[in-house]
Amino acid sequence: MHAPDWLFQTVVFYSPFRAAHPSAPFKVMVQSYLRHGPTEAFGLVCSPSSNSHYDGRLAYVPGLEDVLVWDVKKGQQIAMWHETGHRAEVTCITRSPQRDTFAVGYADGSIRLWSAAAGSVIATFNGHKKSVTALSFDKAGARLASGSQDTDIILWDVVAEAGIFRLRGHRDQITAIQFLEAVSSSAPSTSTGTTPGFLVTGAKDTFLKLWDLSTQHCVQTVVAHRAEIWSLDVDPKEELILTGSGEGDMRAWKLDHGAMESGLVETESGEVVKFIHPITNLPLSSRHRVSQILFHPTHPYLAVQSHDRSVEIFRIRTEEEIRKKQARRKKRAKEKQELAKSKDAIQRDGEVEPDHEQEVGLADLFTPYLVARASGKVRSFDFGDEELKGKGAVQLFMALSTNALEVYSIPAPSKSKEETPEAARILSVDLPGHRADVRTLCLSSDDMLLASASNGSIKIWNMRSFTCIRTIECTNPICSTFLPGDRQVAVGTKSGEILIYDVASSALVETISAHSATVWSLHIRDDEQALVSGSADKDVKFWDIEQKATENDNPNSPRMLTLTHVRTLKMTDDVLSVRYSPNGKLLAVALLDSTVKVFYQDTLKFFLSLYGHKLPVLSMDISGDSKLIVTCSADKNVKIWGLDFGDCHRSIFAHDESVMQVAFEKTDRRDFDAKPSHYFWTVGKDKMVKYWDGDKFENIQKLDGHHGEIWALAVSHHGKFVVTGSHDKSIRIWEKLDEPLFVEEERERDLEQLYEAGIADTLNREDAPIGSGADGAAAGTAAAEATGVSKQTTETLMAGERIIEAIDLAEDEVNAFREYEEAKLAGGLSAQIAPPPRNPVLAAYDKEPEEYVLMVVERVSSTALYDALLVLPFGKVVSLMKFLNHWAEREWNLILTSRIIFFLLKTHHHQIVANRVMRTALIPLRKHLRDALRKQKDTLSYNLAALQYIKRQSDAQRTAEFFEDFDEEAMKEKIAESKKRKRVSIKA
């Protein structure tokens, strides 16, 4: 069944005029369309927007707005972590010590905690205004520190799913964060209390800062480099900090743990003790930006990326190796001195090294080991947790900016000096995606195959499984089309050739030197007998599609299609696009002079000239009934023309950037009664896909999903979907759904989103970064170094509104029943009145008013709760206090009740103190909450004592079993036997 395009709503107006003239009722026609939605994104191995993580088997890499999990050994995608409706790009990934949890930062400033096993979001943190650029967990995985482009650092409580505090002090983007665990020597070994510890951060403002998390203040700021700090890492023993700059410097800093334990103390000279001390600069093989520094967690290796295509590996020597090297150096110095004395040469100014042992220098500690060179630009790298079996080698994983993954083997150090260690590539994942932008797309006639081309390769995709089934080498493809029969693909190149590839054999079967400059466009006539090509050499060439035998000697060999040049049409300017009309009568040619010329295709006689675009027409298409032609241009406009007289029906400002491709939606050939569609698609450099009505000249739907300029567009031959290819190297499918779409509703929804986003931005604007030029923040304003964590989003605004609605509803219900009870007590006729009907919502949920408010509050996510409570006006806070009192009395969800009470008291302290009305609410609340918490405390103490008793019993039992199983006589016999063993020398 073909879905109806028109819905009719009948509206009847009653008036004296209508009564006097009883004619047919008015009909208001409301056109509905079918909605399109994103159904699949493929062709992406990893995007260059974020770092990656590798555990020795699985790689967790960014895939634009998703996180992709690859089994690198098998080359298979295991999972895709996708949240419906979330479009922001992944900018940072880190793994928690609780191995199943990952923290992922996004470009919109949000952080999501993902469960690797379930592939679902555990919690969402919203606190940053701009993209998250650095993340780090503490050793227990209970706290998460995040840094952002908005210059703020936020500490999050992972267990409570809430922000603890915000640290402000940096003046540019945070690039690196690391936790430091300060172990106090005075603390007993059995102490279970965790110290808040320290946080070390690096930023583009060249500062290295040390933050004391117990006082929530910066205790030391170091100007670490002359240029931006791009990377930072702390060694596993937490003794050294290494920082890398934009100028290629790598510096080492020593951490003074003694000073960190004692805190900020003045010395005898009156100076404050420093916690971080500079040591030295470490030389690198290149002077490029130090993008990443990483210590191996267990092996003595340090990896540094300061060049686009390689990672430098340093080996960390043991103390014994350093002592041996120092002894050799001392010996060589003595030999040189003796040789100089024997020849009566002039002795050197320096003294001979003394016999006592030297201190271990940092240059002796880190020795260059090898350089691992990748096949493309390296975006990030990581060490694998697992060793290669039986070899002692370490795995080094690299995520490349060219949409590929590689794993290298770092061999274990050998004793022989002759063998130079080399990194060997052992695994790679590159076939499921292009190395460069997707420039052209074409679909087979049955929509089962998709050919995509980029500089270097053409890939054939199965449109059912979305897997790459063929990869063929190809240089600089510009346009492409399937030849009739769908067995071959014709590709126009930058060099002017038309290449014909056989899909089955993945082979280039013919190279046709068609033009002397770039072939910009290819199009096959609807009767599948001819092909036309347009080029930058100002020629339009016509080709007949003919069959030829693959083997000339054998007439029974399989037949292949070839192109035979039949005629040429010379134009006055470069040809950018050519199109046959579906009825085969006309040929449209778009030129570099911004005009479109229309010719009769049989005689090549000139018919029409379409002019009006201010910049060249990049693409065009003709409707199925050959009545309309739509053109798109670099001037951001789309024009719809009539093909009968060449008049411009409408000019539409379609995109914010150049419009790259346009195509009419095709009607399903299987529906014989379907009329040719005048709906068309456009894609542009503004990353948007848009769906238009060519008769009403209005935008039906905007689809955003790509994160780069969209170069290519292919429309399904059955009208079911559209495929787009982009600079972000992804290929996306937008499928027609069964859900109806009304243009007016779409516009209203867009306006609502803009309005809500505007309100949220206004509420967030007061938190402008220190020293930023944002509105409301002067250049030198001194702001608090530590503040609360809050950020209003549309989600928190809606949650606040839901709480307000629930409070209003519950109050109305309580008041109605109180009035009824009062009237009943008054007696008389009032006592015989029936009780008021329950609110339908409360009746549906079968809950009391207080219970209903609690249910609504519980449904607000833990991370958004505080921000939602900030939306409440003070009048509603007073009302909520009454419900909190009821919850505390009944002991309902005491944890949530306590959180809300303490937050509201802290936020509205001044109003509460100044308002006598609150006294009546707070006194019973204090009593009920204390009683409830005391009960909870007693229960916890009882349970803790019981667990400690069970532990003591278990330990005693294990000790008793050990001594019962111990056989002293048998042990003595074993010792005696071991003494009887003799050394036996075996001679050859």
Proportion of the chain above pLDDT 90, given as a percent = 46
Please give the average per-residue pLDDT across 272-277, as a whole number: 87
Q: What is the pTM of this model?
A: 0.82
456-490 in b/e burial notation, b at 16+ Cβ within 10 A? ebbbbbebeebebebbbebebbbbbbbbeeebbbb
The pLDDT, as a whole number, for residue 550 is 66
Q: At what angle do helices 894-907 and 874-890 cross, to 10 degrees?
A: 150
Please give the average per-residue pLDDT across 469-492, as a whole number: 93
Instruction: Report the C-alpha gap between 554 and 561 in whole angstroms.
Output: 16
Contact, 532 vs 574, CB < 8 A? no
pLDDT of 10 higher than 60:
no
pLDDT of 55 higher than 80:
yes
Q: How many residues does the chain have?
A: 988
pLDDT of 458 higher than 70:
yes
pLDDT-wise least confident of 128-137, 470-479, 748-757, 803-812:
748-757
pLDDT band at 980; cut points 50, 70, 90? low
Looking at residue 771, the DSSP 8-state letter turns out to be T
pLDDT band at 454; cut points 50, 70, 90? very high
Please give the average per-residue pLDDT across 57-62, as a whole number: 93
The pLDDT, as a whole number, for residue 302 is 92
Instruction: Report the C-alpha gap between 498 and 543 in whole angstroms.
Output: 11
pLDDT of 327 higher than 80:
no
Contact, 174 vs 166, CB < 8 A? no
pLDDT one-digit tens code per residue, 94-118: 999 988 999 999 999 999 999 999 9
pLDDT band at 62; cut points 50, 70, 90? very high
pLDDT one-digit tens code per residue, 133-152: 999 999 989 999 999 998 99
Contact, 620 vs 631, CB < 8 A? yes
Domain ranges of the chain: 438-546+559-722, 792-936
Burial of 216 from C-beta contacts in 10 A (0-12 / 13-18 / 19+): middle
The pLDDT, as a whole number, for residue 518 is 94
Instruction: Report the C-alpha gap between 652 and 645 in whole angstroms.
Output: 20
Q: At what angle do helices 917-965 and 894-907 cross, to 10 degrees?
A: 130
- Report the Cα 158 to chain-centroid distance in Å: 20
Contact, 932 vs 894, CB < 8 A? yes
- Neighbouring residues of 115: CB distance < 8 A, sequence distance ≥ 6: 100, 101, 121, 122
pLDDT band at 355; cut points 50, 70, 90? very low
The pLDDT, as a whole number, for residue 354 is 43
pLDDT-wise least confident of 10-24, 629-643, 676-690, 947-961:
10-24
pLDDT band at 560; cut points 50, 70, 90? confident
Please give the average per-residue pLDDT across 353-381, as a whole number: 74
Please give the average per-residue pLDDT across 163-183, as a whole number: 88
Using DSSP's 3-state secondary structure scheme, residue 849 falls into helix
Instruction: Report the C-alpha gap between 571 and 619 in whole angstroms.
Output: 17
CATH number for the domain formed by residue range(s) 438-546+559-722: 2.130.10.10
Instruction: Report the C-alpha gap between 913 and 18 in whole angstroms.
Output: 66
Instruction: Report the C-alpha gap between 201 and 212 in whole angstroms.
Output: 12
For residue 954, the surrounding DSSP H or E stretch is helix 917-965
Higher pLDDT, 861 or 608: 608
Please give the average per-residue pLDDT across 466-492, as a whole number: 92
pLDDT one-digit tens code per residue, 741-773: 888 888 888 887 787 777 767 776 654 444 444
Q: CA of 100: how far to CAs of 104, 133, 398, 749, 932, in Å?
A: 13, 22, 22, 38, 35
pLDDT of 733 higher than 60:
yes
The pLDDT, as a whole number, for residue 184 is 45
Q: CA of 759: how far to CAs of 534, 829, 862, in Å?
A: 51, 52, 22
Q: Is the dihedral of CA 195, 196, 202, 205 positive or negative?
A: negative
Please give the average per-residue pLDDT across 294-319, as a whole number: 88
The pLDDT, as a whole number, for residue 772 is 45
Higher pLDDT, 829 or 608: 608
938 backbone dihedrals φ, ψ, rounded to 5°: -60, -40
pLDDT one-digit tens code per residue, 823-849: 877 776 666 677 888 888 888 888 888
Please give the average per-residue pLDDT across 807-817, as a whole number: 88
Higher pLDDT, 364 or 454: 454
Instruction: Report the C-alpha gap between 655 and 699 in whole angstroms.
Output: 11
DSSP result, 347-401: PPSSPPPPSSPPPPPHHHHEEEEEEEEPSS-EEEEEE-SSPPTTT--EEEEEEET
Please give the average per-residue pLDDT across 671-678, as a whole number: 74
pLDDT band at 423; cut points 50, 70, 90? confident
pLDDT band at 18; cut points 50, 70, 90? very low
Contact, 288 vs 319, CB < 8 A? no
Contact, 496 vs 537, CB < 8 A? yes
Residue at token pair 């089994």:
71
Higher pLDDT, 273 or 122: 122
pLDDT one-digit tens code per residue, 918-976: 777 788 888 888 888 888 899 999 999 999 999 999 999 888 887 776 677 777 777 77
pLDDT-wise least confident of 195-199, 403-407, 730-734, 811-815:
195-199
**Sheet containing 488-493: order of strands:** 477-482, 488-493, 497-502, 507-513
pLDDT of 516 higher than 70:
yes
pLDDT band at 390; cut points 50, 70, 90? low
